[in-house]
């Protein structure tokens, strides 16, 4: 049997990560923001890119200082009510939060080290661990998909991990962490490792649900990651970032590739941050649409996970793939992910949600 190409043995037979990219009328499978940038935002981005293009013969700012300053100012808004601020030296950015996570595992994981999370959770986490030769251990969440703090403590005490990955809101379930869990796990892990709270969907959390950013001053080992893909409607930009103790940012510098953020990426992201209020203007509408969707799904007799994100996990189905396919046949693409029997739908525009409800209603009548 041929062994070509001569790749690492543990990668043989693995398939690349990826959600289906299909040309259908209603795409609700990748948690994208359905509202694109306005002409004014596009114009400012175009101007910023044109300026960056005049210097493309030079390498970009390796430390992306202007972008980090803009990100720090944006994040400070989330903690201003506590009297805290976030400084540029606490911020690091990369090509999507995927690269941020990979850099964290490169710096703090690796051979002889362990990363822990609690399933069901983001399917890329074990791949980050695999790609960095980090031992992967997955605990379990409670039946309501919340984090069982006692069980989490027990697993961390047993495994003594160097990296703990805690998405909040969790993907694919949409559930947020209880604030007390973050501090408790940071204290339990101590300076042996880091606790990463992945807030990719943080801007969509319900009122009264605090950001983990508020806990940064109390825990040097806490890392909070964010992305511009979701709330900022900039999935095509590929810009993720984190806030943490400056020493953690310094550690990431050791493993990051030279000039990893292009001049164009930095220019676009900085320009977009200048329009934060406008770009975030649809967040409230998407929250309301999400909450209405949760009510409607429950009225259909389905189980629905409480969501603080821009998507909803619902079920359960004896054959979820058949339901997924029936929806696709009706022009609606959602995601077959999460625990067996469950499906995930992104929150779209009112018209898109009407199409989804109509299609799902017809499917439910057929399988009743």
pLDDT digits (tens, 9 = 90+) for 40-55: 999 999 999 999 999 9
Instruction: Report the b/e string of 265-298 with b at 16+ CB within 10 A.
Output: bbbbbbbbbebbeebeebbeebbebbeebbebbe
Instruction: Say what angle helices 320-329 and 350-367 make with each other, to 10 degrees.
Output: 130
DSSP summary character for residue 16: -
pLDDT band at 1 (very low <50, low <70, confident <90, very high): low
**184 contacts 149 by C-beta, under 8 angstroms:** yes
> Rounded CA gap, 103 and 251, in Å?
9
3 state DSSP class of 315: strand
pLDDT in tens, 148-204: 999 999 999 999 999 999 999 999 999 999 989 999 999 999 999 999 999 999 999
Encoded tokens for 141: 């969440």
- For the chain, give the percent of residues with pLDDT over 90: 94
Question: Coil, strand or helix: which one is 222?
Answer: strand
Residue 331 is given by DSSP the state: T
CATH top-level class of 40-274: alpha beta
Full-model pTM: 0.96
Q: Show the tokens assigned to 180.
A: 């007390």
Q: What is the mean pLDDT of the chain?
A: 96
Residue located via tokens 């910023």 = 48
Distance CA 265, CA 148 (A): 39
Bridge partners, residue 346, by sequence: 311
Is the pLDDT assigned to residue 366 strictly greater than 90? yes
How big is the chain by its Cα radius of gyration, in Å? 21
Overall average pLDDT of the 269-288 stretch: 95
Closest CA to 286 of 315, 313, 311: 311
Q: 20-37+281-367 maps to which CATH number?
A: 3.90.1150.10
Residue 88, pLDDT > 80, answer yes
- The Cα-based distances of 76 to 24, 68, 247 in angstroms read 39, 12, 19
Which alpha helices (DSSP H) does 117-262 contain, by range? 125-131, 149-159, 179-189, 246-255
Domains in the chain: boundaries: 20-37+281-367, 40-274
pLDDT for res 3: 80
Residue 189, CB half-sphere, CA atoms under 13 Å: how many? Answer: 24
Contact 132, 270 (CB under 8 A): no
Residue 29: both structure tokens together: 């499978």
The span from the CA of 342 to the CA of 335, in Å, is 9
Which of helix, strand or coil describes residue 215? helix
Given CA atoms 64, 70, 75, 81 in this order, what sign does their dihedral have? positive
* Structure confidence at residue 18 as a pLDDT band (50, 70, 90): confident
Query: Tokens standing for 229?
Result: 């893909």
Mean pLDDT over 83-99 rounds to 97
Helices (H), strands (E): how many in the chain?
A: 12, 12
Cβ proximity of 30 and 150 under 8 Å: no
Nearest CA-CA partner of 22 in 259, 334, 351, 296: 334
| Three-state secondary structure call for residue 109 | coil
């Amino acid at each position: 049997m041929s062994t070509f190409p001569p790749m690492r043995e543990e990668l043989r037979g693995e398939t690349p990560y990826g959600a289906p990219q299909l040309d259908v009328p209603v795409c609700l499978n990748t948690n994208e923001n359905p509202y694109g940038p306005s002409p004014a935002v596009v114009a400012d981005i175009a101007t910023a890119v044109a300026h960056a293009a005049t210097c493309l013969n030079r390498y970009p700012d390796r430390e992306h200082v202007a972008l980090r300053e803009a990100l720090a100012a944006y994040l400070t808004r989330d903690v201003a009510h506590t009297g805290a601020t976030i400084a540029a030296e606490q911020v690091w950015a990369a090509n999507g939060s995927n690269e941020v996570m990979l850099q964290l595992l490169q710096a703090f994981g690796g051979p002889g080290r362990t990363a822990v999370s609690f399933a069901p959770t983001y399917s890329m986490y074990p791949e980050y661990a695999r790609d960095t030769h980090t031992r992967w251990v997955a605990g379990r969440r409670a039946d309501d998909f919340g984090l069982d703090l006692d069980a989490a403590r027990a697993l961390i005490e047993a495994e003594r991990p160097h990296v703990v990955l805690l998405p909040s809101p969790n993907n694919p379930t949409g559930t947020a962490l209880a604030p007390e869990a973050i501090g408790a796990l940071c204290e339990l892990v101590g300076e042996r490792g880091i606790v990463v709270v992945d807030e990719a969907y943080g801007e969509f959390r319900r009122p009264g649900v605090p950001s983990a950013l508020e806990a940064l001053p109390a825990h040097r080992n806490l890392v909070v990651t964010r992305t511009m893909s979701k709330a900022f409607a900039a999935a095509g930009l590929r810009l993720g970032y984190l806030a943490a103790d400056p020493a953690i940012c310094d550690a990431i510098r050791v493993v990051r590739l030279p000039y990893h953020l292009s001049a164009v990426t930095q220019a676009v992201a900085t320009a977009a941050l200048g329009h934060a209020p406008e770009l975030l203007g649809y967040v409230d509408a998407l929250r309301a649409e999400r909450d209405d969707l949760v009510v409607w799904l429950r009225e259909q007799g389905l189980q629905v996970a409480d969501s603080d994100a821009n998507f909803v996990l619902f079920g359960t189905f004896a054959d979820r793939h058949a339901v997924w396919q029936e929806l696709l046949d009706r022009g609606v693409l959602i995601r077959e992910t999460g625990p067996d029997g469950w499906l995930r739908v992104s929150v779209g525009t009112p018209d898109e949600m009407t199409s989804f409800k109509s299609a799902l209603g017809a499917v439910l009548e057929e399988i009743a």
